Chains A and B, each alone.
Chain A
Amino acid sequence: MRLKKILIVLSIPVMAEIAIACCDCLETISKNYSHKSIVVQHLDNSGEKPEVTYGSVPKHAYGVRVTFTREVVACRAKQTPTFFQSAYAFSCDCPPELTIAPKDSIVSIHLFAEHDFDPSHPADSDVSDYFKVYFPDAFSFTSIEDYLQPVINYRGYSNLVLFDESQLEEELTLLLMTPPENTVNKFRIQITLSDGRIFEQTTEEIDLI
Chain B
Amino acid sequence: MKIKTLLLLSLALLATRTYGQDEANWNYTSRWQTRPCVGINLPITKFFKGSITDPLIAYSDHSYYLQFISATYFFSERWGIDFNFQGISSSEISNRHERYSKSLEQEYGNQYFVNASSGAEYETGSIGDIQRGFIGLIYRVEARRWFFYPKIGLGVTSLDTSWGRATLKQKNSNTVLIVEHSPGKAKTASDYFTIAPSLIFGYKLSKRIFIDVDITTSWFRTNTTYSQTTTNAADQENTPGPTYTYNRDIFTLSLATGLIIVIK
Contact = CB atoms under 8 A, between A and B. Distances in A.
A75 B171 CA distance: 46
The contact size tier of chain A is: 10 to 19
Contact of B174 (A48, A140, A176): A176
B176 interface: yes
B167 A139 contact: yes
A105 B171 CA distance: 35
Contact of A139 (B115, B171, B172): B115
B172 A60 contact: yes
B176 A139 contact: yes
A63 interface: yes
B234 interface: yes
A133 B255 CA distance: 59
Given A60-B174, A139-B115, A176-B174, A48 B169 contact: yes
Interface string B88-119: 00000000000000000000000001010000
A175 B167 CA distance: 17
B173 A48 contact: no
A84 to B, nearest CB: 41
B173 to A, nearest CB: 4
A97 to B, nearest CB: 32
Interface in A60-78: 60-63
A134 interface: yes
A31 interface: no
A139 B174 contact: no
Nearest to A138: B167
B167 A45 contact: no
A63 B233 CA distance: 16
B184 to A, nearest CB: 24
Contacts of B115: 139
Nearest to A58: B172
A46 B176 contact: no
Contacts of B169: 48, 139
Contact of A140 (B171, B173, B175, B233): B233
B174 A63 contact: yes
A175 B174 CA distance: 7
Interface string B110-137: 0001010000000000000000000000
B234 to A, nearest CB: 5
Interface of A: 45-48, 58, 60-63, 132, 134, 139-141, 175-177
Interface of B: 113, 115, 167, 169, 171-176, 178, 233-234
Given A47-B113, A58-B172, A63-B174, 6 more contacts: A46-B173, A60-B175, A132-B234, A141-B176, A141-B233, A175-B174
17 contacts: A45-B173, A46-B171, A46-B173, A47-B171, A48-B113, A58-B173, A60-B172, A60-B174, A61-B174, A62-B174, A134-B174, A139-B115, A139-B167, A139-B169, A139-B176, A140-B176, A176-B174
Q: Closest 6 interchain pairs by CB?
A: A139-B167, A48-B113, A60-B173, A175-B174, A141-B234, A46-B172
